[in-house]
Structure 1
């Protein structure tokens, strides 16, 4: 996935008394949490984009003509298809490295790409500590070797819930297909204010902006350390440094 640091705390402590952003929605007290949420959101969205492909690769490659059946590690599925429309219903469907607890994945192919509809889908991937319930739609297209996704989803786990509207794409002319750029409108019960998140190719690699105009711009050394420059609505700035281990710990605080 796309991580700011290759090793990619938790959480930040309270704002410092001399913090010029103490009254801003983004400040030293929540900057690391906000960065971690942004990275976790991108990682989860990339998995969410592929949920139909992940399931169908295992279920339909060997059983394309079977409308119902058992999943390899337990649970069951049902499948229907007409023309460009395919639908998978999954119930406690366990594979080697992930599980579909519930839900329906509907995929409609089109000349320009496809549309995935998620209906009350529950997904777990224990190896990376990922677990969520999701509903909504994702459109996918491929042009000149560049993948693009547009998502409008509700996603949650336990008491936490988010609304995401996002636009992601593989970076054009990049040597690595793993470089994902784009933007997300993120409204989360985990934060007091909605965020706009922009993932960039290069350094800085991440810009986060809150509704009051405060922002965070993140640069890294690519390996072990990162620096977040915070800016208040009035233009006051301060810097907050963090390590890869701190970011990783903060990301692990949530399951999506």
Structure 2
């Protein structure tokens, strides 16, 4: 199955890997990015080499109007959207006692409000067409919690509840919704960790390695495909055995 897909946060990390994986599968892809235009242009160029149409659009998912304009532009330029992947996310890690209001609100605004804004703009047209798939990116932090990440964990746990409720709302209209909860993945977020911290974290992973963004993207690609036609309301963890 292929068609038109939307991806938020598509200029880096898991979002960029998802854009490339969907393009490889034959999807035309519209993705948004907030600030790194050079990285977005590289992803757009690389994905386009698979022979599909790709559009990179600057948009802040924390802004509802930006999301609405992003969805409208992609549907106008590429066609009706059949898959939505909400991947944009940030961290502002700090213990609760030291966390200020900005640390809390910026993470919730981007991660949780961003998923809400994107899905609200894209899902209703899919409901009217009677088909579509939504995949949201949560985290093992949202499932199991993580010290110094009360803001991030809250946003990612909220995404799980949001996605399960959405699946119940839209299933009768032929639209599916699932969440993916990655664990320790090699991205720019984890690259900034001190080596001692990385080594300690790896000790909690059964496979003794960090995952790759491409491995997460593979699962996202499966969930938006017809192979996952009977999968909805699920939270699928990709963590190498971190919870064992």
Question: Which bracket does the TM-score occupy, shorter chain normalised?
Answer: under 0.3
Between Structure 1 and Structure 2, whose CA radius of gyration is higher?
Answer: 1
TM-score by length of structure 1 reads 0.25
| TM-score of the pair, normalised by structure 2 | 0.26
Between Structure 1 and Structure 2, which shows a larger proportion of helix residues? 2
**Greater strand proportion:** 1
